[in-house]
Amino acid sequence: QVQLVESGGGLVQAGGSLRLSCAASGRTFRSNLMGWFRQAPGKEREFVAAINLGGRTSYADSVSGRFTFSRGNAKNTVHLQMNSLKLEDTAVYYCAASELAWSLAQSPDQYNYWGQGTQVTVSS
């Protein structure tokens, strides 16, 4: 059974940093597109970042230059380094894995596996 488990969320002041991690089990996703999405209360789930098989990354305009998506040294982990956090970054953050490899898809429909989410709250 495939599982994605996020960690690293929490409460941080505006301007601070957090590092989210996602650990996969049940199969390897080293050769798959991985993504981060987030959902704030009353809003739809939105794309944050993606990384493909070749290590190429894509970011939402709202986080570009502040967030960095990387694959971990551990075989089945990915990380999202979030710097210069803003109030509007407050949301539940979800890790996702796709059966695609080279795509940098931004639509949730292109992802097949999802974690349960981790809360990120940015305070003033």
Give pLDDT, residue 7. Answer: 97
The per-residue pLDDT for 75 is 73
The pLDDT, as a whole number, for residue 28 is: 85
Q: Is it the case that residue 6 has pLDDT exceeding 80? A: yes
The closest of 111, 93, 91 to 51, measured between CA atoms, is 111
DSSP letter for 103, please: -
28 vs 45, more confident: 45
- What own/partner pairs with CB < 8 Å and gap ≥ 24 does 112-117 have? 113/2, 113/4, 113/24, 114/4, 115/3, 115/4, 115/5, 115/6, 115/22, 116/5, 116/6, 117/6, 117/39, 117/92, 117/93
pLDDT at 29: 86
Give me the pLDDT at residue 110, please.
Answer: 96
Sequence length of the chain is: 124
Predicted confidence at residue 30, as pLDDT, reads 83
- pLDDT tens-digit readout, 57-90: 999 999 999 999 999 877 789 999 999 999 999 9
What is the model's pLDDT at position 1? 82
Q: What is the pLDDT of residues 7-18, one digit of tens each?
A: 999 999 999 999
3-state SS, residue 52: coil
Contact 111, 2 (CB under 8 A): no
Position 113 scores a pLDDT of 96
Q: Is the pLDDT score of 96 beyond 90? A: yes
C-alpha angle 58-85-38 in degrees, rounded to nearest 5: 55
